[in-house]
Amino acid sequence: MVEHIWRTYHKQLLSFIRKRVSDAALAEDLLQEVFIKIHNNIDTLQEGKKVKAWLFQITRNTIIDHYRRCEHHEESEIQLIELEDENDANAMADIQSCIVPMIKSLPEDYRDALLLSELNGLSQKELSEKLQISYSAAKSRVQRGRNLLKEALSKCCSFQKDSKGRIVDYEKKSSSCDNCREN
């Protein structure tokens, strides 16, 4: 089971960690720590519970634990990460069912760029190699895809942002959004 989880989620979890930890080697170390925790606690996963949500909760907790161990980080930074992660977890659980269908509805070039980079964790350099396009073209496709996705999300939802521009809450504008379906 852990091997299947590794094959399925390790790129997504590594990408998630890299967005929160600036050192690539440290991100790899934290990913290994996450999978050790998964291996040691797989029997606590309740039947019917969503595996992905459980994995990301372990990953968030591992990142928070790392910052708690580091003496040079201030207490307020740790609290900010915890609050952000709680909001992220709740909002992402709700909106995740909308994002993938929205990405899949984008034109093929942008859809492929976002699926590979954002969901599968490929760097833009790796994306350029995989799609056999220039690095500049890969960057442009990802950026344009993000803008198209942002437009699509804005049509369906209104977002509340904090002082740094991060999304902290959202509300659907209409229950008839083509891409957002209640699960």
Q: For 18-54, what is each residue's pLDDT tens digit?
A: 888 878 899 999 999 999 998 888 888 766 567 888 8
pLDDT at 127 over 80: yes
What is the pTM assigned to this prediction?
0.48
Domain 107-183 has CATH 1.10.10.10: yes
pLDDT average, residue stretch 54-62: 87
pLDDT at 177: 64
Q: How many other β-carbons are positioned within 10 Å of the β-carbon of residue 82?
A: 16
pLDDT at 95: 56
pLDDT at 79 over 60: no
The structure tokens 């521009």 sit at 165
Average pLDDT, the chain: 77
Could you tell me which of 182, 4, 2 has the C-alpha nearest to residue 93? Answer: 182
The DSSP bridge pattern shows strands 167-172 and 157-161 to be antiparallel
